């Protein structure tokens, strides 16, 4: 048998492991999965197995691992495997874990599962666990209101967006947003997403894989431009971070066709129209060697 760990933070997030996509001989290549692995001779119990695997894969020690269920799953190669699943709570920072296998670790909420490449059995399992362990209701926080009673008067939240500036032979990767997209429908835009409770580079790597199937090492990205903007006076202010990837694996795929209908490489000197205005400003700033742009503050 194998042993894996369902690690959650008690607030609705699950710690998931993105496995290597270029190793077809491993279990679940290119998929989001749970940390864990096969029992070895030195393991007296399956609890020993999962404790060892967490330590070997990410130097992660989790207290109070408890048996949750035994699942029989089918891998992408058709093999049937029995897995003893353990469950535990942990709320640390996955960015600080020295991952030795796979691409990355990230906190993920259940609503993201349908958009991620994972075995159906893994998705069903996690959704069941989430239904049995609902996240506590959070107190609503106004986006433009004070962060807490301890913050200085007038402090407001800024939405943080991450953007991938991918350039190849003087051409920039842009996606044509679906006409029905809630934002910028029918316009060209770089690959982008909103930061959740995660580091900006982790968000960038996650979004690149989820949206386009691109595998990027966080060590291969650098911040090249920042746009601080406000679309309208009533809108929350936004900080848009643009990261350049010095290297990546894979070719752009349409992984979220409800958001993007086409990826295309465009000359940085002949950008398409229409294009999201702040993306045009950011690309022009990057090409000119500027690090910062402000937009919309005179409205």
pLDDT band at 143 (very low <50, low <70, confident <90, very high): very low
* CA gap 4, 286 in Å, rounded: 44
pTM: 0.59
Convert the pLDDT of each residue in 33-55 to its tens digit: 999 988 899 998 999 999 999 99
Query: Do 275 and 176 meet the contact criterion of CB atoms below 8 Å apart?
Result: no
Torsion, Cα 173 221 36 212, to 10 degrees, reads -10
Task: State what percent of residues in the chain have pLDDT above 70.
Answer: 90
Q: What are the tokens at 89?
A: 């709570």
How many CB atoms lie under 10 A from the CB of residue 182? Answer: 8
Query: Do 254 and 260 meet the contact criterion of CB atoms below 8 Å apart?
Result: yes
For residue 37, the surrounding DSSP H or E stretch is strand 35-38
Residue 64 predicted with pLDDT over 90: no
**Arithmetic mean of pLDDT, 243-253:** 94
**Angle (CA) 280 200 36, round 5°:** 135
Q: What are the tokens at 226?
A: 């920042």
**pLDDT value of position 286:** 96
Going from the C-alpha of 25 to that of each of 19, 44, 85, 112, 214, the distances in angstroms are: 12, 27, 23, 27, 20
Convert the pLDDT of each residue in 74-129 to its tens digit: 655 566 778 899 999 998 888 888 888 888 899 999 998 988 888 888 899 999 99
Convert the pLDDT of each residue in 170-199 to its tens digit: 999 999 999 988 788 899 999 999 888 788
Task: State what percent of residues in the chain have pLDDT above 90.
Answer: 53
Name residues whose C-beta falls within 8 Å of residue 20's C-beta, 6 or more positions apart in sequence: 26, 29, 30, 101, 102, 103
* Bridge partners, residue 278, by sequence: none
């Amino acid at each position: 048998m194998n042993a894996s760990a369902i690690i959650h933070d008690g607030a609705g997030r699950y710690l998931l492991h993105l496995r290597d996509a270029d190793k077809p001989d491993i279990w679940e290549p290119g998929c989001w999965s749970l940390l864990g692995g096969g029992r070895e001779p030195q393991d007296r119990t399956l609890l020993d197995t999962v404790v060892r695997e967490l330590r070997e894969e990410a130097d992660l020690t989790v207290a109070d691992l408890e048996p949750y269920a035994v699942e029989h799953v089918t891998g992408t190669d058709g093999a049937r495997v029995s897995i003893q699943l353990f469950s535990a709570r942990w709320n640390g920072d996955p960015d600080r874990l020295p991952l030795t296998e796979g691409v990355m670790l990230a906190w993920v909420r259940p609503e993201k599962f349908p958009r991620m490449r994972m075995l159906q059995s893994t998705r069903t399992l996690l959704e069941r666990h989430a239904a049995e362990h609902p996240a506590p209701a959070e107190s609503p926080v106004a986006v433009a209101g004070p962060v807490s009673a301890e913050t200085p008067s007038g402090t407001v939240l800024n939405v943080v967006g991450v953007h991938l500036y991918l350039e190849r032979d003087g051409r920039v990767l842009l996606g044509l947003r679906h006409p029905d997209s809630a934002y910028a429908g029918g316009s060209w835009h770089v690959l982008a997403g909103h930061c959740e409770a995660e580091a900006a580079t982790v968000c960038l790597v996650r979004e690149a894989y989820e949206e386009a199937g691109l595998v990027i090492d966080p060590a291969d990205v650098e911040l090249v431009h920042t746009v601080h903007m406000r679309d309208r006076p009533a809108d929350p202010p936004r900080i848009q971070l643009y990261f350049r990837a010095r290297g990546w694996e894979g070719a752009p795929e349409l992984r979220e066709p409800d958001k993007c209908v086409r990826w295309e490489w465009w000359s940085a000197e002949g950008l398409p129209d229409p294009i999201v205005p702040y993306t045009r400003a950011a690309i022009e700033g990057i090409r000119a060697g500027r690090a910062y742009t402000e937009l919309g503050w005179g409205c």
